[in-house]
Amino acid sequence: MAIILDGRKISNEIKEELKAKTLWLKEQKKIVPCLALLLVGDNPSSQIYVASKEKACKEIGFKSIVIRLPQDASESEVLSVVKIWANDKEIHGILVQLPLPKHINENNVIMAIPPAKDVDGFHPESMGRLVIGLPGFVPCTPAGIIELIKRYDIETKGKHVVVVSRSNIVGKPIANLLYQKSNYANSIVTICHTAARDLSYFTKQADILIAAMGVPKAIRAKDVKDSVVVFDVGINRIIDTTKEKGYSIVGDVDFEEVAPKAFAITPVPGGVGLMTIAMLMNNTFIAANNFNSM
């Protein structure tokens, strides 16, 4: 049976480490890390994500500020909140929960966040620094994958990584991270997506497979080779009448089928998703720690 890459265990370790670092920051620099979160609309998943981030801040000892705007809030209202936070020296990280309502231009909002407070790692400056290998904020889900690779000492040098995603949030940044000439990277990377005529042709070549296309159980046992390492980023709700809630949460990989063939695999839930929040907290700590040097 595959090694389970336990995001719950590792994320808890990271949060405990951050608790100690935060205590040091408070005592030595008199700084309390502060994350400001903006939620627009009533998307149930977004509400859950924001609540999880608030909870993580409290657990570690960060301050959090949350503003919730209605679904019909204008782009100018959103930008006004971001501008106030951008100029507030007590706020170290700004996160605008995505997706935003369709009438709001996400790029305009992302561009309004100062790179020094861009703890989501989505600003073009953050992305540019990532691509050329300079220090900066890395998007939290790719950062979480890299942290799992490090902590489980997964060999990546010369390995063929297949990324099934082309998103700015996961696919593009994780591909750029893994082909760089550095420790826990230095891989040969292929990016593909659901437009591929035969997606299985690519996934069967993967030594390391990263699936983030948002299609429940799309990757089956027939689509991978033996001893593959699988990072399943998908979080999909499917109808399940055997459950009290009436649904189950599953990944983009059919865990029951693929796990027996894999060398290592992340579960869903309990895998990459929890690492995403842990790395957001880590980015926020870094932003706060950098504050004195700005």
**Catalytic residue list:** 53, 97, 120
Do residues 269 and 8 make contact, with C-beta atoms less than 8 angstroms apart?
no
Q: Which two tokens stand for residue 116?
A: 């020094």
Q: Specify the amino acid at residue 225.
A: K
Instruction: List Cβ neighbours of 264 (8 Å cut-off, separation of 6 or more).
Output: 2, 3, 4, 5, 152, 154, 229, 230
Identify the DSSP state of 68. E
Q: φ, ψ for residue 31 (rounded to 5)?
A: -115, 130
Q: φ, ψ for residue 4 (rounded to 5)?
A: -90, 120
3-class SS of residue 140 = helix
d(CA 259, CA 228): 9
